[in-house]
Structure formats: C-alpha cells, structure tokens
Amino acid sequence: MNRVHSQIVMLLVLLLGMTANGQEKQALVGGTLINGLGGSPIYDSVILINGDVIEKVGSVDTLEVPDDYKVVSTEAMSVLPGLWDMHVHLMLTGHADYSQWHPNYADRFAPEIMPASALQLLLAGVTSARDLGAPLEDTLTVKRRLETGEIYGPRMFWSGPFIQKAPYPGTEDYRWGIEGVADARQKVRTLAQAGMDVIKLIDHDLMTIAEGKAIVAEAHKYNLPVVAHAHRPPEIRRGLQIGIDNFEHTGLATAPEYPQDVMTMLKERTAASMIVDDPLYWTPTVEGLWNSVDIRENNEKLDSDCWHVGLEQDTVDDIAQSIAHPESLTYTLLHPKRQKTLKRKIEQLRASGVILMVGTDSGIPMKFHCQSTWNELDVWVRIMNIPPMEAIQAATYWPARFMGVDDRWGTVTPGKFADIIAVKGDVLKHINLLQHVDFVMQGGQIFKQDGRVVEELLEHN
C-alpha cells in the first residue's frame, strides 16, 4: 500500500470512528463572526452551543461562557456558517471521459463514489449541498446512509434523475424522458414520493409548454422547487414561461451577453417577485469555465491528492490518467471563447435583480469536490468583483432560504443548528483562505480542528 493510499485509509478509519457529541456544551470563543445575515462582523465573538443547536451569540465583552461549557478557541480566525454548494454531482469525481465513467463505475456509485464525494465536500467546509442528478436507487441508498450516520457528508438535498424530453443514449438511469402531460406529472410524483427535495429540468425548451407547466405545477403541489438549465436563451425563455424557481449555469454559448428580450423577461420576473415574495434564484457555476482555461496551460492544481480521499486506488489511477493531458480534451476547446462572456453575463444577472447562489457543478471533468466551492467563491470575488459578504451569503443564507430550511441552517444565530466553519485569517479580505478550512463543525460535532481530524473524538474499533 503506497503512502498516499495509507493516509486515505487512516483518515477514513478515524472519521468513521468518531462518536457523536450531541449532548456536549461548547463555546467557540475569540474569532471574527460573519453570521450570514450580511451585517457587520462580530469581533471577539462567543458562540454557545448546546448539543447540536446554537444557544447564544455575542462577544467576549457581552456574553460570559458558563463553567460547564468546553471552550474551543477561534482566535485569529474568521468564523462562518457552514458552506452550501447548490450544484454538486456526487456520482462524478472529475473523470474526463463520461463515456467511460458511467458504464464502468455505475456499480460503484453508491458503495464508493458518492460516499467519497460527500466526505470530500464535508472536509472542505461544505456542510450542506444539493445533488442535481444521479440514479434514483443510488441516491436513495446514499441518502439513507447519510441520514443514519453510517457515512459522513453534507446535509444533502436531492433531485434524483433529471427530467428532460428525451434522455441521451446510455443515460437513461439518471435522465428521465417524458412523453406528454400525464407522463410528465407521473415522473414528478415518482420523485416526490421517493423523498426527493427538488426537481431538475434540462432541455426543457424541447418540451411543449403544456409538459413544462405540468412538471412545475406537479412539483409545486408537493412543495418541491424546480431548477432548470440556462445554457441557451430558449431554455431561459421557456423556463420563465413555465415558472421555474432557479436557473443553473451561465450558458455554454460564445455570444458576448444575454439577448435583450431575455433580460427584459428576467427583469419583469424579478419585479413581480417584489409583490409575491417569490425571488428568482440563479446558480451561475462560473468557475469551471473560467479556471479551465488556465488549467489547459498549467495543470499543477490537478496534482493535489485531496480528491483521492475515500476512493479506491484503481479509481484514483483511472481519473488521473483521464486528466493527464487537459490541453487535449475536446471538452474544453471552446472554453477560452466562453470565458470572455462570463463577466458581462454576471453583470447582467446582478443588474436584473435575481438572487445568486453558489453552486459549482462539482464532480464534472477536472472539478473536484475538495476544491470546487472555494474556487467558485474565489472567482466570484477576485474576477467577477462580487463583494465578499455578498458571495458568502450566496453560499450560506440564500441557499438555506431557497430550500426552505433557513429556520434551521444558513446563519450562525440562536436556535439554528450548529453548522459552523472557521479559517485562519480575514476571509473578507482574502476569500481564497477558504481553500484551507481549519475548523468544521456540523450539528455540534467537530470534524476538523486546526486543519486536522480531531483525534480526541475518535473511537477506535
């Protein structure tokens, strides 16, 4: 067994040996708290946690730590709500050849690939995530294992298979085609009754308006939001016509901006939301396009071993081989032209009044779960000139609000579950500090401290 693989095995043994500390009282003391609400940070913060819930929040001058609380220092750190990634694919782990990946790894999705992806996200500070597309049976298996604590990962929200007019050949297990209004409604009911949290549409411009409206209406009957691709202007137009709640992506075209009629429709939609308190959300997923241009020239970041965690060695070797020459991948040949459109499109979206949320398409070629979320935030702030506080809210508060769980997660405030991360330094000045999350707490349980798995919580079998 080589050194890297032995470290991976040890990490998994340690994590799976952790004991729940749901009854423990803890105090996070000293850090600069960015609570997710968008206001001024709380310096020298104190966060009292009773079991898995945040009890009180204050500062060292206003909130005394009771004697029966275990003190955890966050001095010199930025403290934030646990991050959300609103667009991940647990069944993918960066392999560059889908035609090889799907048939060869389908039987590994539930036992190996999806658990490894979930673990990598959690260790990167992503305590909640939305999986947008996987076979239903595998999704249900991993959902159960996460909910029972058999495996560790983010709090997951699931779409199960995509719904589209006709699945691409060989993708029928995770893409469901529809034929007519009755079939469209039945597909949604199947997913809703299976316990999915959201419905995802792609190529919905190829459906009839009646089919698209039936999907949205049936989903909303089950209180499920509907997300839809926005790769092409016709998808955006049709999505607005049928009433979807959340667009995904900025588009794969090389046109320099969104057409004027699309912008008019978006502004009309966001203006209407002021009346009904029903904002239109958008998950732009810009980092994959932006950074892939640099990766073609300098692929050093692909050499990181953080994406090996939880994977079998033959899986690691196969992925590494598939991305060994990123400059030759046809998948990215148009990315330099597409990259040039991103700044303008983000400007248009922000001006339209939509609410942006952080999502990454994590798992697609060369996008690894241990890197994707912080990379997206970095590009938002450094390249797209989005203020750091706005970007942080897009990865904390707004996702929880969209999924209807903002009463439980999304901010570090009393009464919420204690999903909290921290990094050394000032993340409002240097957002890329999130590439090294030093502290990860989920539901009051500490998974990382000082950048390492916390050994005092380990129980060896």
As a whole number, mean pLDDT of residues 63-88 equals 98
Q: CB neighbours of 294 closer than 8 A, spacing ≥ 6?
A: none
Which tokens in the block code for residue 424?
Answer: 């050394």
* Residues 41/74, Cβ–Cβ less than 8 Å: no
- pTM of the predicted model, to two decimals? 0.93
pLDDT above 80 (res 459):
no
As a whole number, mean pLDDT of residues 129-135 equals 98
Residue range 343-399, pLDDT digits in tens = 999 999 999 999 999 999 999 999 999 999 999 999 999 999 999 999 999 999 999
pLDDT at res. 12: 45
Buried (b) or exposed (e) across 129-164, using 16+ Cβ within 10 A?
bbbbbbbbebbbbbbebbeeeebbbbbbbbbbbbbb
Distance between CA atoms of 214 and 180, rounded to whole angstroms?
9
pLDDT at res. 176: 98
pLDDT at res. 178: 97
Q: Which among 342, 335, 345, 405 is positioned nearest to 367, based on CA atoms?
A: 335
CA 231 to chain centre: 19
Which DSSP string corresponds to 385-447?
A: ---HHHHHHHTTHHHHHHTT-TTTSSS--TTSB--EEEEES-TTT-GGGGGS--EEEETTEEE
CA 307, 310, 315: angle at the middle one, nearest 5?
70
Distance between CA atoms of 377 and 431, rounded to whole angstroms?
7
Amino acid, res. 216: V
What is the pairing mode between strands 25-29 and 175-177?
unpaired
Show the domains of the chain with their CATH numbers. Answer: 3-82+411-457 (2.30.40.10), 83-402 (3.20.20.140)
Please name the helix (run of DSSP H) or strand (run of DSSP E) that holds residue 87, with its range, or none.
strand 83-88
Q: In the sheet that 355-356 helps form, which strands lie side by side, from edge to edge?
A: 175-177, 162-164, 199-201, 226-229, 246-248, 281-283, 355-356
What is the pairing mode between strands 445-449 and 439-442?
antiparallel
Q: Pick the residue with more confidence: 335 or 138?
A: 138
Q: Mean pLDDT over all residues of the chain?
A: 92
Q: CB neighbours of 450 closer than 8 A, spacing ≥ 6?
A: 438, 439
Which tokens in the block code for residue 198?
Answer: 């959201």
DSSP H helices, 277-425, are: 287-297, 313-322, 335-339, 342-352, 372-382, 388-394, 397-402
Measured over the CA atoms of residue 103, residue 107, residue 109 and residue 113, the dihedral's sign is negative
Q: Pick the residue with more confidence: 277 or 445?
A: 445
How many residues belong to the chain?
461
Residue range 8-49, pLDDT digits in tens = 444 444 444 333 344 699 999 999 999 999 999 999 999 999
pLDDT above 50 (res 3):
no
Measured over the CA atoms of residue 312, residue 323, residue 142 and residue 145, the dihedral's sign is positive
pLDDT at res. 331: 80
For 50, 385, 422, 450, the CA distances from 76, given in Å and listed in that order, are 24, 26, 10, 12
Report the DSSP beta bridge partners of residue 182. none
pLDDT at res. 124: 97
Place of tokens 């502004």: 267
As a whole number, mean pLDDT of residues 75-103 equals 97
Amino acid, res. 333: L
Determine the 3-state secondary structure of 127 from DSSP: strand
As a whole number, mean pLDDT of residues 228-245 equals 97
**Strand residues in 137-177 grouped as ranges (E):** 155-158, 162-164, 175-177
Q: Which among 346, 314, 415 is positioned nearest to 112, based on CA atoms?
A: 314
Residue range 309-353, pLDDT digits in tens = 999 999 999 999 999 999 888 888 888 899 999 999 999 999 999
DSSP H helices, 58-105, are: 98-105
> Minimum mean pLDDT among 19-23, 97-101, 117-121: which range?
19-23
pLDDT at res. 23: 65
Residue range 145-191, pLDDT digits in tens = 999 999 999 999 999 999 999 998 989 999 999 999 999 999 999 99
Residue range 265-281, pLDDT digits in tens = 999 999 988 777 789 99
